[in-house]
C-alpha cells in the first residue's frame, strides 16, 4: 500500500501565513488583540461586501453559539435546524437549553427543504411554540435555496442564522455566502477551504451586533477598573497568532477555491462513463459553489451491487480517505428525541452518498491513484 495518505480535506498553507504569525511574535501581540485580528476582519469585510461586520472567534461553533444568543434564543425556546449537517450546527442549541426542531433536505441542494420548513413552522406555531431562529446550512459549499428560505423566514418573521462554515467563496447571484442570514458564520477549522488552525467568524449587519459578539466573546467585562460582570461571558475570541494564519490564507482564497472546483471537475470526468454514480453539483446557474467537498451518489441497483461502502473500502485499501455524507441529526442518538419534519430525503442521501478527497493541494499523482482505484473497481464489477 502507498504510505502517503490522501486525505479528504487537509490544510493547505502557502508560506505567507508565517510572515503574519512572525509579526505577532515580533510585536508580542500573541493573545486576544493585535493587528492580525484587525487585518483578518477587514480582509473578510472587504471580501464579503454587503457592508457586513466581521468578528473573529475561536471556532465556527462558538460563532453559532453567540449568534443564537444575539438572536435572542433562551432556555426553553425552539430553534429550527437543517437535519443533514455537521453536529456543530445543532449543538449550540443545546448549550442554551433550547430545543432543536430538525428539517429534511431537498434533492437540488441537499439543504433545507422549503416545504418541510414551512410545514414545521406552521405546526410549531399551532402548538404555541413559534421557532425563534432558523439555522440554514450551505452543505459542502452548495448554497441553500436562498430566496425560498428567506421568503418563509420573512413571512413568519423568524431570523436566519446562516451556517456558512463550509461555504466561504461560494456565492448566489454574485453575493457571497455568509451574508444572507440575519447573522452568518464561517469556520476556519483545519479541514475547511481556508484555515486559521482553528477558528471562525461571526458576520453581522451592524457594528453594534459585532461589538456585542466580541463583548460576550471576551468574558462580558463591563466598563470598570475592576472586573465587573452583568452578563454571562465566554472565552471565544480568536488569538492574534491564529488570525495571522488567516491573513496569509485570505491571500490564497481565490486560487484555493479554483483548485477545489478543479477536483470537482476531475470527479465529473472520472465518473462520466460509470452508470449508477452521479457527482453532486449545483443545477441552478445563479449558484456558484466552492465545492468544499466533492460528493457522489452511488445507486447499487445500477452498479451491479457496488454500493457506497464498497467504494469507500476500495479507496481505504489504497490509503485514500473518503467518508459517508453527514449522518442526519434526527438519526443521531443525542438528537433523535427531538421533533423532525420531512420525507426521509436526508436518510437516502446518507445511505447512498460519499465524500471524496477534495483538498486544494492534491497532485496529479494523487488524482492518478484515485482514478486507478475507481477504474479497477468498475472493471471488475
Ligand X SMILES: *Cc1c(COP(=O)(O)O)cnc(C)c1O
Active site residue 212: no
Q: Which residues contact 190 (CB under 8 A, 6 or more apart)?
A: 10, 11, 197, 198
d(CA 83, CA 106): 11
d(CA 75, CA 62): 17
Q: Select the span of 161-169, 251-259, 270-278, 304-312 touching ligand X (CB under 6 A).
A: 161-169
Q: How far is the CB of 171 from ligand X (least distance, A)?
A: 17
The DSSP 8-state label assigned to residue 305 in this structure reads T
Asked if residue 137 binds ligand X (CB under 6 A), the reply is yes
Residue (112 or 165) nearer to ligand X, CB: 165
Residue (24 or 325) nearer to ligand X, CB: 325
Joined together, the cell numbers standing for residue 203 give 458576520
Q: How far is the CB of 164 from ligand X (least distance, A)?
A: 8
Residue (61 or 294) nearer to ligand X, CB: 61
Closest CA to 258 of 228, 233, 286, 289: 289
Asked if residue 358 binds ligand X (CB under 6 A), the reply is no
Q: How far is the CB of 83 from ligand X (least distance, A)?
A: 12
CB 160, CB 133: distance < 8 Å: yes
**Distances from the Cα of 247 to the Cα of 17, 54, 61, angstroms:** 7, 14, 20
Element (H, E) at 211: helix 207-217
Which parts of 116-135 interact with ligand X (CB under 6 A)?
none
Asked if residue 187 binds ligand X (CB under 6 A), the reply is yes
Please list the residues that pair with 102 across neighbouring strands.
81, 340
The catalytically annotated residue of 132, 145, 192, 210 is: 192
Element (H, E) at 102: strand 99-103
Asked if residue 200 binds ligand X (CB under 6 A), the reply is yes
Residue (44 or 277) nearer to ligand X, CB: 44
Which parts of 45-84 interact with ligand X (CB under 6 A)?
59-61
Residue (32 or 59) nearer to ligand X, CB: 59
Q: How far is the CB of 198 from ligand X (least distance, A)?
A: 6
Which parts of 81-100 interact with ligand X (CB under 6 A)?
85-86, 88-89
Candidate list 24, 68, 120, 165; residue touching ligand X; CB under 6 A: 165
- Helix/strand/coil (H/E/C) assignment for every residue in 3-49: CCCECCCCCCCCCHHHHHHHHHHHHCCCCCCCHHHHHHHHHHHHHHC
Asked if residue 253 binds ligand X (CB under 6 A), the reply is no
Catalytic residues: 192
| Binding residues for ligand X (CB under 6 A) | 59-61, 85-86, 88-89, 137, 163, 165-166, 187, 189, 200
Amino acid at each position: 500500500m502507498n504510505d502517503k495518505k490522501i486525505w479528504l480535506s487537509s490544510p493547505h498553507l502557502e508560506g505567507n501565513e508565517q510572515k503574519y504569525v512572525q509579526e505577532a511574535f515580533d510585536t508580542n501581540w500573541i493573545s486576544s488583540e493585535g493587528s492580525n485580528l484587525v487585518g483578518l476582519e477587514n480582509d473578510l469585510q472587504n471580501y464579503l461586501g454587503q457592508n457586513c461586520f466581521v468578528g473573529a472567534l475561536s471556532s465556527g461553533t462558538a460563532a453559532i453559539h453567540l449568534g443564537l444568543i444575539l438572536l435572542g434564543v433562551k432556555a426553553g425556546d425552539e430553534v429550527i435546524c437543517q437535519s443533514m449537517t455537521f453536529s456543530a450546527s445543532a449543538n449550540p442549541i443545546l448549550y442554551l437549553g433550547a430545543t432543536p426542531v430538525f428539517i429534511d433536505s431537498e434533492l437540488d441542494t441537499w439543504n433545507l427543504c422549503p416545504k418541510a420548513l414551512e410545514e414545521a413552522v406552521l405546526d410549531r406555531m399551532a402548538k404555541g411554540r413559534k421557532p425563534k431562529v432558523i439555522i440554514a446550512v450551505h452543505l459542502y459549499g452548495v448554497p441553500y435555496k436562498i430566496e425560498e428560505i428567506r421568503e418563509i423566514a420573512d413571512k413568519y418573521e423568524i431570523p436566519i442564522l446562516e451556517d456558512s462554515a463550509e461555504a466561504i467563496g461560494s456565492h448566489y447571484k454574485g453575493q457571497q455566502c455568509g451574508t444572507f442570514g440575519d447573522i452568518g458564520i464561517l469556520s476556519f477549522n483545519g479541514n475547511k477551504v481556508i484555515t486559521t488552525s482553528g477558528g471562525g467568524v461571526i458576520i453581522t449587519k451592524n457594528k453594534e451586533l459585532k461589538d456585542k459578539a466580541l463583548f460576550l466573546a471576551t468574558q462580558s467585562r463591563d466598563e470598570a477598573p475592576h472586573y465587573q460582570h452583568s452578563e454571562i461571558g465566554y472565552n471565544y475570541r480568536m488569538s492574534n497568532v491564529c488570525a495571522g494564519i488567516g491573513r496569509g490564507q485570505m491571500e490564497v482564497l481565490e486560487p484555493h477555491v479554483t483548485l477545489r472546483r478543479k477536483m470537482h471537475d476531475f470527479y465529473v470526468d472520472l465518473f462520466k462513463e460509470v452508470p449508477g454514480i452521479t457527482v453532486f453539483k449545483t443545477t441552478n446557474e445563479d449558484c456558484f459553489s466552492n465545492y468544499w467537498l466533492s460528493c457522489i451518489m452511488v445507486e447499487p441497483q445500477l452498479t451491479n451491487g457496488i454500493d457506497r461502502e464498497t467504494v469507500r473500502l476500495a479507496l481505504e485499501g489504497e490509503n485514500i480517505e473518503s467518508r459517508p455524507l453527514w449522518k442526519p441529526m434526527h438519526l443521531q442518538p443525542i438528537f433523535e428525541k427531538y421533533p423532525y419534519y420531512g420525507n426521509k430525503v436526508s436518510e437516502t442521501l446518507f445511505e447512498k452518498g460519499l465524500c471524496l478527497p477534495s483538498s486544494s493541494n492534491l497532485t496529479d499523482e494523487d488524482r492518478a491513484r484515485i482514478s486507478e482505484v475507481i477504474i479497477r473497481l468498475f472493471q471488475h464489477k
